[in-house]
Amino acid sequence: MRSAPLGQGTCYTAPSTSGRGAAAAAPRAHAAGRRAGAADLAGPAAAAGADRPPPVPPPPPPRLLSRAPPPREDAAATATASTIPPLAGVPPTSLPRHLALILDGNRRWARARGLPDRAGHAAGVAALTNAVAACLAWGVPALTVYGFSVENWGRGAGPAVGVLGVAAAAARAHAPALAAAGVRLRFIPRGLTRPRPLAEALREAERVTDAALAKAGRADAPALYLSVALSYSSRADMGAAAASLASDVAAGRLDPAAVDADALAARLSTAAVLPPALQFPDLILRTGGERRLSNFLLFEAAYAELAFLDELWPDVGVEALGAALRDFAGRERRFGRD
């Protein structure tokens, strides 16, 4: 459903098939089924005086992908070649040149199925494989995804290291396929050092894609700039950029008159991984039913179009992404002008 006619300053909200309500109800139903099943196992005496509903069937098995096989090392290339339909009737010039995704709902997806959180993050990686393939197929040159925020460390070291471990394993497994597809992989913010094995795995994945692009003579012209935000905070990023400018002014290396919005933008994490023409996202899409940016690309999002899906990220397939891009193509972007 749409909250207002599309156009400047509006956002798109897609119809829901598996939003927060369904995700919250499933664990309760599954728990009720377990309690009823325990009474049955205790025997007739234990169940005789109980007024309990019949056992609830367990939830369906997890659906990792909507229209593609389970992830493999060559999943991105295979999906691009064989499973991603074109966006018929949408001119390439109407598509976003930079798509940003807030991947929300992995944990809720897993818990609705009685699975560990790690399974939800793995399912989210599979859905991201589809998104990468779709961008390659449709000619979207830049994709930035929000995988883990600085604030997420507040959930505890165990959950945080768990999701980052999935990210490291995915980077290692998918780097060869990304390299073969002409993708340049980068992680922001730059200089991530903890946990050390994660940082080393991420740097190695970047090197794999860089080497393939250099060998193909495409170091400065990848098919897709894929940037993954891990342990990221947009406010911290802006603070670091401002501090860098202030330091240069204090040292006499920079004229105070040269400090402006462009100077600040040039020192953000995104400037280190994207060419200037692609630094600012055209469309930011968030899944999982929330309607906020959550400290993601706050400076860069000044004129981004916004879209929100109730579906949890692992349930978002190519068709849903295509629908959001079609909606974007129909918007009139005026950037404050008549």
If one counts every other C-beta atom within 10 angstroms of the C-beta of residue 166, the result is 22
In a domain, 338, yes or no: no
Instruction: Give the model confidence (pLDDT) of 38-69 as tens digits.
Output: 333 233 333 334 344 444 344 333 333 333 33
Give backbone dihedrals phi and psi of 207, rounded to 5 degrees, phi first. Answer: -65, -35
List, for the chain, all residue ranges whose pLDDT scores fall below the cut of 50: 1-10, 17-78, 81
Structure confidence at residue 214 (pLDDT): 95
If one counts every other C-beta atom within 10 angstroms of the C-beta of residue 200, the result is 13
CA dist 149 and 4 (Å) reads 30
- DSSP string covering 216-248, please? TT-TT--SEEEEEEEEE-HHHHHHHHHHHHHHH
Structure confidence at residue 16 (pLDDT): 52
Structure confidence at residue 193 (pLDDT): 65
**SS3 label, residue 276:** helix
The structure tokens 């598509």 sit at 95
Please name which of 3, 10, 22 lies closest in space to residue 312, comparing C-alpha atoms.
22
- DSSP string covering 76-120, please? HHHHHHHT----TT--GGGS-SEEEEE---HHHHHHTTT--HHHH
Structure confidence at residue 127 (pLDDT): 95
In a domain, 127, yes or no: yes
In a domain, 334, yes or no: no
Question: Tell me, what CATH number does 139's domain have?
Answer: 3.40.1180.10
**Token pair belonging to 293:** 């940016």
**SS3 label, residue 301:** coil
In a domain, 304, yes or no: yes
Structure confidence at residue 81 (pLDDT): 37
Q: Residues 74, 152, 210, 295: which is the catalytic one?
A: 152
In a domain, 293, yes or no: yes
CA dist 128 and 311 (Å) reads 14
The structure tokens 């055209």 sit at 282
Q: Residues 104, 117, 282, 310: which is the catalytic one?
A: 104
Instruction: Give the model confidence (pLDDT) of 235-289 as tens digits.
Output: 999 999 999 999 999 999 999 999 999 999 999 999 999 999 999 999 999 999 9
Q: For residue 270, which amino acid is it? A: T
Please name which of 322, 316, 270 lies closest in space to residue 89, comparing C-alpha atoms.
322
Structure confidence at residue 131 (pLDDT): 96
Structure confidence at residue 151 (pLDDT): 85
Structure confidence at residue 141 (pLDDT): 97
The structure tokens 């995700």 sit at 23
210 labelled catalytic: no
Structure confidence at residue 333 (pLDDT): 85
Structure confidence at residue 321 (pLDDT): 95
Structure confidence at residue 3 (pLDDT): 39
Domain count, the chain: 1
Structure confidence at residue 273 (pLDDT): 96
In a domain, 229, yes or no: yes
152 labelled catalytic: yes
Q: Which domain holds residue 285?
A: 11-329
The structure tokens 């007024």 sit at 51
In a domain, 91, yes or no: yes
Burial class (CB in 10 A: 0-12, 13-18, 19+), 257: exposed
In a domain, 89, yes or no: yes
